[in-house]
Amino acid sequence: FAYRGLFDGDIYVRVDWQDIRNKNRRDSFTFQNALDDSSVDEWTFKCWNLHEAFENSWMAHYLKENSYIKVGEFKLPFSKYETESKTYVDYFFFSTVDVSVTRVPSAFHVNGILLDDVVITSVNESVYDIEFVRSNCGADFPLLGMANAEGTSVNLANAQEFTFNLDDGTKVVSSRQETATHDITGTWDMVILGESINDIPKDIEGYELSTLIKNAIGSEGIKVQKEGYCLDRKWWITYETIPGRQNLPIITKDNLVFEGEEINFNVGHGREGRTWHNPIQGDFLSVRRENPHVAVTINGYRAVCLSDCSFSYFDSGIPTLTSLSSTS
């Protein structure tokens, strides 16, 4: 497989196998600190011989002869700096023979486009619809060309349609059905807790916005989490040490541009704060009643009502001490 970014930890491999006692086993082994930091910006290829790794593990001494070894799970470590960097994995596959990989520069990557999926739909016997699902905000998709066909030297970056001639005389037409929109450009402003923050980047990360707010209001009790990308970005602001219901931030979007389209900025309360009671006091467990609820106990034993259990309370019926005199 190929990887790029900062990884931290071991690669975990889970295998199912059978030991010399005919017992089905599920165990694991690891490649310790297998991914170095040299691939922050460039792709690096890694290849491991899993069978050889198994043979060098303790499990090999107990493996039943001619039994099975199955890879059940393969886990890569997480990003070393999860909130501030991204990690990528590509070309991930298993093979029973040696594999040589040559990476050809991608026209998508050159234009800053990362793909999440490619969906191919058959329209009829000779027409296919190909959809590229983006995983980032890249938009300048070139028109698809044909390998080793006449006309592939033309500039397909902005072409809407082109006809390619194959060696056998077949003509293949590549046409652009839809054009991906570009990302929002510009900055936005915010007023929060009476303080103004200007020129906020349109794709600011949560920890960066959190720092800006903390510096503006002079308090550490703010946490910001970011969700989504491109057309649906969200920032969740949590007041961790600032009590009470806070006014909603005021957003100014005049400096944001989205290819002439209207930009919607919605601000609302996600959820209210809460109070944690541990343990729960008895006052929270009582039930509202119109009449008093009285329990009578005698020497620790609770009395039982056998007939009319109604009860009324009158101040006038309570004995009161009105005077006190001494007899000696």
The 10s digit of each residue's pLDDT in 42-52 is 778 888 888 88
Q: Mean pLDDT in the chain?
A: 81
311 falls in which pLDDT band (50, 70, 90)? low
DSSP characters over 224-264: EEEE--TT--EEEEEESS--SPPPPPEEE-TTEEBTTB---
d(Cα 239, Cα 273) in Å, to the nearest integer? 9
Q: Exposed/middle/buried for 317, CB within 10 Å: 0-12, 13-18, 19+?
A: exposed
Tell how far CA 284 is from the center of its chain.
37
Which secondary structure element, helix H or strand E, spans residue 45, and what is its range?
A: strand 44-45
What is the mean pLDDT of the segment spanning 51-70?
Answer: 88
Q: Is 216 in a helix, a strand, or coil? A: helix
Cβ pair 203, 261 in contact under 8 A: no
How far is CA 138 from each of CA 113, 115, 262, 263, 268, rounded to the nearest angstrom?
Answer: 4, 9, 20, 19, 29
pTM: 0.49
What is the mean pLDDT of the segment spanning 154-168?
Answer: 81
Handedness of CA 79, 82, 85, 91 (dihedral sign): positive
What is the mean pLDDT of the segment spanning 146-163?
Answer: 73
Over 90: is that where the pLDDT of 137 sits?
A: no
For residue 84, what pLDDT is reported? Answer: 53
Over 60: is that where the pLDDT of 305 sits?
A: yes
Over 60: is that where the pLDDT of 55 sits?
A: yes
For residue 85, what pLDDT is reported? Answer: 60
